[in-house]
């Protein structure tokens, strides 16, 4: 595959992240999108690597969602793509199907854990159909995760639940993201442990220089 300027990293540990907010009304300007700002704010607090963000605001159209994921991975070399919105049971909610269409392998554990977190708050969490996939092309791979549409739920699922003393009660999904990206050949992502503590096996920890 021919690499373009978009594939270049400003530093070896730079992380390229695609953010897709899926909403019929926000994409038409009926109201302001909150999904992308919430995602970017959380990621900038949590990740200590340099990051580059590519944003897309689109309607609940399966073909458009799939095309956006493919573009972000294949053309812009994103290591991680996060979507928000369109994961419920209504007929316009097609994000999981569109995500699977773009993926080469499904990673269902992310959706399972997100529902587990949300069930701590509302029984309707079982209606969520969030999932995750890997998209693997010739010499690049990315992790694509469907997140909830509500800003509060986005932060909860990424970060997990903590008790009054700040100790983890239910692990957030982002704790597993950096190691997954290690395994598919991406940059070594490090985080601010006061926000989210990454888990890696001892054999996968980067040695201090």
- Determine the pLDDT at residue 2: 54
Give the up-direction half-sphere exposure of residue 30: CA atoms within 13 A in the CB hemisphere.
8
Angle between helices 151-159 and 109-118 (to 10 degrees): 120
70-126: per-residue pLDDT in tens?
999 999 999 999 999 999 999 999 999 999 999 999 999 999 999 999 998 889 999
- Determine the pLDDT at residue 32: 84
Q: Give just the sign of the alpha carbon dihedral 23, 26, 31, 33.
A: positive
Angle between helices 62-70 and 95-102 (to 10 degrees): 40
Closest CA to 192 of 48, 50, 30, 38: 48
Q: Are 16 and 81 in contact (CB under 8 A)?
A: no
Over the chain, what is the mean pLDDT? 92
Q: Percent of the chain having pLDDT more than 70?
A: 97
Domains and CATH numbers, the chain: 12-198 (3.40.980.10)
Residue 191 has what DSSP assignment? B
- In total, the chain counts a number of residues equal to 209
Q: Are 115 and 94 in contact (CB under 8 A)?
A: no
Residue 87 has what DSSP assignment? -
Helix, strand, coil in percent for the chain, rounding step 5: 40, 20, 40
Residue 3 has pLDDT above 70, yes or no: no
What is the rounded CA–CA span in Å between residue 202 and residue 5? 35
Q: Percent of the chain having pLDDT more than 90?
A: 76
Closest CA to 103 of 83, 117, 85: 83
Average pLDDT over residues 38-56: 97
161-189: per-residue pLDDT in tens?
877 777 778 889 999 999 999 999 999 99
Average pLDDT over residues 187-204: 94
- Determine the pLDDT at residue 54: 97
Give the up-direction half-sphere exposure of residue 25: CA atoms within 13 A in the CB hemisphere.
8
CA Rg, the chain, in Å? 16
Average pLDDT over residues 49-65: 96
Supply the pTM of this predicted model: 0.94
17-34: per-residue pLDDT in tens?
999 999 888 777 777 889
What is the rounded CA–CA span in Å between residue 148 and residue 130? 7
């Amino acid at each position: 595959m021919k690499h373009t300027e978009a594939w270049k990293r400003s530093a070896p540990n730079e992380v390229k992240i695609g953010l897709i907010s899926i909403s019929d009304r926000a994409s038409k300007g009926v109201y302001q999108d909150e999904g992308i700002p919430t995602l970017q704010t959380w990621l900038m607090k949590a990740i200590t690597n340099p990051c580059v963000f590519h944003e897309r605001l689109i309607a609940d159209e399966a073909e458009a969602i799939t095309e956006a994921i493919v573009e972000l991975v294949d053309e812009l070399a994103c290591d991680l793509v996060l979507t928000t919105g369109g994961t419920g049971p209504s007929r316009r909610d097609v994000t999981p199907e569109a995500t699977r269409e773009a993926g080469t392998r499904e990673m269902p554990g992310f959706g399972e854990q997100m529902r587990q977190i949300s069930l701590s708050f509302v029984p309707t969490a079982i209606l969520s159909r969030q999932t995750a996939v890997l998209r693997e092309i010739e010499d690049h791979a990315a992790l694509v995760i469907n997140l909830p549409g509500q800003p509060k739920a986005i932060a909860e699922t990424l970060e997990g639940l903590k008790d009054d003393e700040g100790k983890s009660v239910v692990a957030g999904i982002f704790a597993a993201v950096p190691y997954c990206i290690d395994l598919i050949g991406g940059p070594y992502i490090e985080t601010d442990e006061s926000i989210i503590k990454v888990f890696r096996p001892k054999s996968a920890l980067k040695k201090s220089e």
